[in-house]
Amino acid sequence: MITPEEFVMLYTYIPSPLGDLLALRDEVGLTGLYLPTGKHAVTPKDSWTRDDGAFDDLRAQLAQYFAGHRREFSLPLHPSGTAFQLRVWEALRDIPYGETASYGATAVAIGTPTASRAVGMANGQNPISIVVPCHRVIGAAGALTGYAGGLEAKQWLLAHEASHAGLFAG
């Protein structure tokens, strides 16, 4: 059996309205999508292999998302995290396009209503931004709180989704 450390990590850069996104994938699926802004910039490691063609599915779906034509992503995902983090990241995918949820509501959604701070920490560690929409989580009073890609990027993503959400009404 191959352990995650033995997977070949592929990467590419994908242009976006937020700058060039760094995308990572292994043999299982997408492991990371990082904005060029924010607190913790990610750069390729020497052990990673650049393969621009390995990301055609992600590139196409991101283009549709940024054009306002895609609400959800249908990609194989393979984030690495604790069991708690994985539960939080899965719950983030249930927050509807163009809407937001609080950290507390997300904690309730995963069955740990007193864990809003832990949800906030897990949210901040989400390695697959945009696709796993951690930007949709806001403070209890509606404030835009921290975002690994920077608050300007979070504000842009929320405004982008809000401006296109009505296009999907049916």
Q: Using alpha carbons only, give the angle 160, 156, 90 rounded to the nearest 5 degrees.
A: 80
Q: Are 74 and 48 in contact (CB under 8 A)?
A: no
Residue 119 has a CB neighbour count (10 Å cut-off) of: 27
- The tokens describing 110, both together, are 């995963």
| Residues contacting residue 112 through CB under 8 Å, at least 6 positions apart | 118, 119
| Residues contacting residue 3 through CB under 8 Å, at least 6 positions apart | none
User: CA 156: distance to chain centroid?
Assistant: 14
Q: Which amino acid is at 148?
A: A
Q: Is 93 helix (H, G, I), strand (E, B) or coil?
A: coil
Per the residue annotation, which of 18, 21, 115, 134 is the catalytic one?
A: 134
- The tokens describing 130, both together, are 């945009």
Asked about 70 being catalytic, the answer comes back as no
Residues assigned a catalytic role: 134
